[in-house]
Amino acid sequence: MVETKPFLPGQSCIKCLIFIVLNSLFLLNSSVVYSGEQSAEKERSCKTLRAMAKVYMACGDYKNAQGLAEQALNLAKETNASDAELCACLLDLAYLYKNQGRMADAETMCQRGLKLQEKIHDENHPYVAYTLRILSEIYQGQARYRDATSALERAMMIMREIDPKDDRAIAPLKIDIARLLVARGNFAEAESCFTEAIVPIEQSYGPDHAYTANVLGSIAALYAMQKRYDEAEELIYRTLRIQEKVYGPEHHFLVPTWLVMSEIYQAKGDYVNAKMLLEKSLLTTEKQQGLLHPLTGDVLNRLGQLYIASKEYTGAEDTLQRAVKVLESSLGPDNDRTAIAINNLAKVYIHQGKYSQAQKLCQKALNTLESVFDQYHPNVADVLETMVQLHREAGNTAEAARLEQRAEEIHARNQTAHRRIAKVTQ
């Protein structure tokens, strides 16, 4: 079974790891002494490896978790372990690979685990719903938002059929839906989902739980996107206090929180603190996740945006070129996150008078975003505004006016697309 509540990591991680390692050694020795069956010994070893891997994952140490989780899967295959054990191994690796940014590998493992799960239980079991939540996150990482929506819709229907009045069981799914709606540019419905879910989340997990903080951070990020910086600031500092208590003040799980804080600092003109947090985020992410992790690319993109705001165009160019390379290599050239970095690089080229290069990048970003979403997504408007700036600089006022009108229509448009997913939550 995949746990429905997040493990509470932090300083306790090391103690838990020591306990599990010592306990695991005892179990392994016991299986040799007291069990005369080789298969029973290996089955126990497989479960022990998975348990150890989960502690590493809870602490965010995916590198050490990977070796243990992969050993567990190989052992399960070699010993013809039960479908339940093989399923658990596959889903552990799906979750691990997702957090490493290895979305194709994560999808393979998750799909295989899902099929076994449906065989062991049935297609409408709550375990299946939880796995569909993981699959939806993987799809989002691949910019497959329609597939991500379908996975969450199915998960919600499963949970509604089990107990339609259990708000605490439904709340995490509403949070997943809200995050997906944010990615798809439907901010009003996203906020509605967050509002419906936050009270049962706090009741179920507690106001100072790591998952509660994670949700508050997502709401703060939404407020920052809407330029509601005072509301965002209040929530993000609450998020930070909880996370520092749980994980410690320098843990890489705090990077998303630091990114929101840096955005608020930048909006208020405090470039010094904004840059400090972004540089801290970059060092932390590179050290823990690696130079080519998608989050590294996202941090570089944000740092490049700050350089543009402070008119440091040489630093912006170098940083954004690197961001594009990281995101293209990790997520692919047709990912929306890659397109956003490409659009920011185009802004730098406009300031440098490299209009031809900027035009190519803008068109590439626009094509990607309209393919991933549609022509009315907020990020499409951002690219159009970059193109407006480009055409004005180049003296093409008529085209600039046309593109500006289209961007304004997007901003003014009341989001009506993608409402089917919101209906499921009612």
356-391 confidence digits (pLDDT tens): 999 999 999 999 999 999 999 999 999 999 999 999
Per domain, the residue ranges of the chain are 294-413
Residue 16's pLDDT band (boundaries 50, 70, 90)? low
Q: What is the mean pLDDT of residues 276-297?
A: 97
Name the CATH superfamily, with its identifier, for domain 294-413: Tetratricopeptide repeat domain (1.25.40.10)
- How would you write 139-194 as a 3-class SS string? HHHCCCHHHHHHHHHHHHHHHHHHCCCCHHHHHHHHHHHHHHHHHCCCHHHHHHHH
- What is the per-residue pLDDT for 43? 62
User: Does residue 11 carry a pLDDT above 60?
Assistant: no
- What is the per-residue pLDDT for 39? 57
Residue 41's pLDDT band (boundaries 50, 70, 90)? low
Q: What is the mean pLDDT of residues 54-69?
A: 94
Q: What is the mean pLDDT of residues 135-156?
A: 97
- How would you write 332-368 as a 3-class SS string? CCCCHHHHHHHHHHHHHHHHCCCHHHHHHHHHHHHHH
Q: Give, as one character, the DSSP assignment of residue 415.
A: P
In whole angstroms, give the CA distance from residue 49 to residue 51. Answer: 5
Please, how many CA atoms are within 13 Å of residue 364, restricted to the half-sphere of its CB?
Answer: 21
The pTM is what? 0.88
- What is the per-residue pLDDT for 413? 81
In whole angstroms, give the CA distance from residue 295 to residue 97. Answer: 14
- What is the per-residue pLDDT for 37? 55
- What is the per-residue pLDDT for 101? 96
Tokens 């995916």 locate to 62
Average pLDDT, the chain: 89
In whole angstroms, give the CA distance from residue 181 to residue 77. Answer: 39
User: Does residue 2 carry a pLDDT above 70?
Assistant: no
Share of the chain above pLDDT 70, in %: 87
Q: Which of 23-32, 97-106, 169-178, 395-404 has the lowest mean pLDDT?
A: 23-32
Residue 299's pLDDT band (boundaries 50, 70, 90)? very high
In whole angstroms, give the CA distance from residue 99 to residue 96. Answer: 5
pLDDT tens-place string over residues 215-230? 999 999 999 999 999 9
CA dist list (Å): 417 to 86, 176, 375, 412, 422 = 40, 18, 11, 14, 10
Share of the chain above pLDDT 90, in %: 83
CA dist list (Å): 126 to 99, 111, 269, 361 = 23, 16, 47, 45
Contacts 24+ apart (CB under 8 A), 234-238: 236/260, 236/261, 236/264, 238/213
**Which residue, among 422, 411, 364, has the nearest Cα to 385 in the 3D structure?**
411
User: Does residue 414 carry a pLDDT above 70?
Assistant: no
In whole angstroms, give the CA distance from residue 3 to residue 172. Answer: 13
- What is the per-residue pLDDT for 38? 58
What separation, in Å, do the N-terminal and C-terminal C-alpha atoms of the chain show? Answer: 28
pLDDT tens-place string over residues 241-254? 999 999 999 999 99
Residue with the bigger pLDDT between 52 and 39: it is 52
In whole angstroms, give the CA distance from residue 49 to residue 396. Answer: 64
Please, how many CA atoms are within 13 Å of residue 388, restricted to the half-sphere of its CB?
Answer: 14
pLDDT tens-place string over residues 191-218? 999 999 999 999 999 999 999 999 999 9
pLDDT tens-place string over residues 91-119? 999 999 999 999 999 999 999 999 999 99
Q: What is the mean pLDDT of residues 182-199?
A: 95
Most confident of 20-24, 189-193, 412-416: 189-193
- What is the per-residue pLDDT for 93? 98
In whole angstroms, give the CA distance from residue 317 to residue 133. Answer: 37
